[in-house]
Amino acid sequence: MKKKIALIAGILITTGILAFSTIDQAQPEVKIIVSSDQPVKFDMFRDATVSKNLTTPYEFTFTKSDSKFIFKSFETKENLTVTVQQNGKTTIKADWPLVVLLIEGEYYTCFGMD
């Protein structure tokens, strides 16, 4: 009887641990490249962080699946070319002085303003 209770308790504990633990899924590595014809200073807003006075060419890699970006050129006449690459392939490319990039899992949305 004690063995059956211990076995059932063990199964319940294991099930409870597995139900509330998160399984790490391999998130794709995303590379963002910001470039322009000439060196241009810009600000980058990523989720809740701000990076100021960055200069093109600029690139970085991250693995977060959901992110929101704003790239804003100091000079409104200078376009920023924002390229998003996943697994070495270009998935989206934008060319505006102000670029908004939304990444939601496997979906990319991009728009800009002159």
pLDDT digits (tens, 9 = 90+) for 29-60: 889 999 998 999 999 998 888 989 999 899 98
What does the block give as tokens for 49? Answer: 């962080």
pLDDT in tens, 77-104: 888 899 988 887 888 888 898 999 998 8
What does the block give as tokens for 78? Answer: 């200078």
Buried/exposed code over 35-44 (b: 16+ C-beta within 10 A; e: otherwise): bbeeebebeb
Model confidence, pTM: 0.70
The kind and range of the H/E element at 72 are: strand 66-73
